[in-house]
Amino acid sequence: MSSVVHPTQKTCDLQAEIAKLTAKLAQQDLHIRWLEEQLRLSRYKRFASSSEKQSPDQVALFDEAEQLQDEASEQEQEPDTTATTVTAHQRKSRKPRIPEDWPREQIIHDFAEADKVCPHDGTYLVHIGDEIHEQLDIIPAQIKAIAHVRRKYSCPCCEKYIVTATKPKQPIEKSIATPNLLAHVVISKYADALPLYRQVSMFKRIGVELNRTTLANWMIQCGQLVQPLINLLAEAALAQPVVHMDETALQVLNEPGKSPESQSYMWLLLTTGHQPVVYYHYHSRRHADVPEQLLGDYHGAVMVDGYDGYQSICQKNQLTRLGCWAHARRKFIEAQKSQPKGKAGKADQALAYIQKLYAIERQVKDKTVDERLKIRQTQAKPIIDKLKSWLNKTLQHTPPKMALGKAVHYLHNQWERLVGYLDDGAYPIDNNPAENAIRPFVIGRKNWLFANSQSGAKASANLYSLIETAKANGLEPFSYLQRVFTLLPNAQSLADIEALLPWQLAHHDNYLASTEV
């Protein structure tokens, strides 16, 4: 006996099936959109420029009314002037300037005595001036041996009293390397990203037989030598009201308890301002205990990215954690790149707001802390409020899996940290100084690929710290390391070591200053 399905029940079942299929279709449609987005983004990354700069037309698309209104106001206020058309021309490239204090060698181009006669009347010509054209020349690398001769004396009477003159302590005792040579190898590897095996080949071309193991040992010993200075750099950084932090991966081949393929990390602690510090720290892992170790009992503001490992020390020390607007902007740029070609969308709207915030930061760059705070409160905060309103509306209708959804949810989750820079004129808007400071290490890593040991990684951190801090303080890094490797081994007190801090030498040694031609 067949059962009879009531029409109402059948209708309900059909509606449920329709709802189920509709939901499945919507899910598949969302997945297709995501795949199309990933394809566009992949093509963009492969073929397009990686610059984060925004097209002025694209950014202004959602700001046209305000722009036109501002231009109209300016036209009303500006006096009537007559426009002058200037013919377009191509700007000539400026030749490099040769500093006046550089040594010069003159090569005189003159006539033979018989040619210094006027062809018209035979009168002897008189020298009336010179035409001078200067060129840059280079002296190829040279090597020389330094012989330390220690005079010995004895008493001619008793023949028992014998003395030998002392020589200054060397950065590496009983080594053939002078402070100059060590500074050269360090700068070549860490400032110029030149691996040691290439330096071995370069030394060989000028007749010097050195092996990579010797150079590597020199780097480790130099890193150990400068440890007292590195400790002072860390102390100076933690004395500042705001610090930047970042981290990047590093492969260390011979690390206890880890495989050669595993990742270790180079951490960065940076301060800007009057006495900037760039402090690198090697650690075998990326974990919350590393920033706790680096910051200790620090109480101030910390500018970092969204990594959760910083949260523990921020809560423990009640630190002000600032968010990075550059990271937020970068995610919207990713969303913008994934949009269909020629189509503007919500990512462009968000970028327009963020670009306005950065425009204000460019205006207040050279202002005092108080002036910067006032301008941020009066000009940046209204933009922040508009962006918040836009965010609340957009968040409700944006799938989190899509590129725009990721950007919107990142902005939402980091909001309180991102707007924190409005509370103090000393707070930065982003973590770009840290990202810029860690870039030399990243470039070097692409060339020398890995560290062989923990001691090598620690030495690299110390030497990068000195070089980048010297550059941040306006010093030429080779001259600075040359001075450090000469004087630090003979330092007798803390004051002697403090005198070698980059900002101390920057004030007293003009010849160490970095110059650009």
> What SS3 string covers 251-303?
EEEECCCCCCCCEEEEEEEEECCCCCEEEEEEECCCCCHHHHHHHCCCCCEEE
Cβ atoms of 186 and 479 within 8 Å: the answer is no
Query: Is residue 47 situated within a structural domain?
Result: no
As given in the structure block, the two tokens for residue 146 are 């330094």
**Shared domain check, 438 and 298:** yes
Residues in Cβ contact with 488 at an 8 Å cutoff, skipping those fewer than 6 apart: 171, 225, 226, 228, 229, 497, 500
**236 and 362 share a domain?**
no
Within this chain, do residues 281 and 338 fall inside the same structural domain, yes or no?
A: no
- Cβ-based neighbours of 277, under 8 Å, separated by 6 or more: 233, 234, 236, 237, 240, 269, 270, 271, 469, 472
Same domain as 445, residue 421: no
- Cα separation, 478 vs 187, in Å, equals 6
Inter-residue contact 228 to 497 (CB < 8 Å): yes
**Residue at 199 is within a domain:** no
Could you tell me if residue 177 is inside a domain? no
Tell whether 454 is covered by a domain: yes
Strands 451-453 and 277-283: unpaired
What pLDDT, on a 0 to 100 scale, did the predictor assign at position 260?
Answer: 78
When divided into structural domains, the chain yields a total of: 2
Torsion (CA) 388, 392, 393, 396 in degrees, nearest 10: 150
DSSP, res 244: E
Tell me how far apart the alpha carbons of residues 460 and 252 are, in angstroms, rounded to a whole number: 12
Which of residues 374, 403, 430 is at a domain's end?
Answer: 430
Would you state the structure tokens that stand for residue 123, as one six-digit string? 């009168």
55 three-class SS? coil
Q: Tell the burial category of 321 from Cβ atoms under 10 Å away from its Cβ (0-12, 13-18, 19+).
A: middle
Whether residues 274 and 421 fall in one domain: no
Tell whether 236 and 299 lie within a shared domain: yes
Walk along the chain (517 residues) and give the pLDDT tens digit of each residue.
Answer: 455 556 677 777 777 777 777 777 766 665 566 565 556 556 655 655 555 555 554 444 445 434 433 444 444 344 343 444 445 555 656 677 888 888 999 999 999 999 999 999 989 999 999 999 999 998 888 889 999 999 999 999 988 899 999 999 999 999 999 999 999 999 999 999 999 999 999 999 999 999 999 999 999 999 999 999 999 999 999 999 999 999 988 888 877 877 877 888 999 999 998 899 999 999 888 899 999 999 999 999 999 988 889 999 999 999 999 999 999 999 999 888 877 776 778 889 999 999 999 999 999 999 999 999 999 999 999 999 999 999 999 988 887 777 888 899 999 999 999 999 999 999 999 999 999 998 888 888 887 777 888 899 999 999 999 999 999 999 999 999 999 999 999 999 999 999 999 999 876 655 455 544 3
Note whether residue 465 is domain-resident.
yes
Tokens representing residue 257 in the block: 């308890």
The residue type at 422:
L
Q: Quick one: angle between helices 212-225 and 196-205, nearest 10?
A: 120
In a domain, 192, yes or no: no
Mark which of 413, 430, 447 sits at the end of a domain. Answer: 430
Asked if the structure places residue 81 within a domain, the reply is no
**Residues forming a β-bridge with 124:** 117
Task: Give the pLDDT of residue 62.
Answer: 47
pTM above 0.85, yes or no: no
Same domain, 477 and 335: no
| Pair 279, 465: CB distance under 8 Å | yes
Whether the CA torsion 163, 167, 172, 178 is positive or negative: it is negative
CA atoms 375, 379, 56, 84: torsion sign:
negative
Last residue of a domain, one of 383, 400, 430: 430
> Does residue 317 sit in the same domain as residue 443?
yes
Q: Which amino acid is at 170?
A: Q
Domain with 482, as residue range(s), is 224-321+433-512
Q: What is the pLDDT at residue 37?
A: 55
What confidence score (pLDDT) does residue 42 get? 66
- Eight-state DSSP code of residue 327: H
For residues 411 and 484, membership in a common domain is answered with no
Provide the 8-state DSSP code for 194.
-
Task: Using DSSP, state whether 451 is helix, strand or coil.
Answer: strand
In sequence order, what E strands does 113-166 have? 152-154, 162-164
Contact 412, 395 (CB under 8 A): yes
Cα-Cα-Cα-Cα torsion 355, 356, 358, 362, nearest 10 degrees, comes to 130
Question: Are residues 291 and 341 both part of a single domain?
Answer: no
117 lies in a domain?
A: no
φ/ψ of 374, rounded to 5, equals -65, -45
The distance from CA 46 to its chain's CA centroid, rounded to whole angstroms, is 24
179 CB-near residues (< 8 Å, 6+ apart): 170, 171, 482, 485, 486
What local confidence, expressed as pLDDT, does residue 485 receive? 97
Residues 393 and 368 in one domain: yes
Whether 398 and 423 share a structural domain: yes
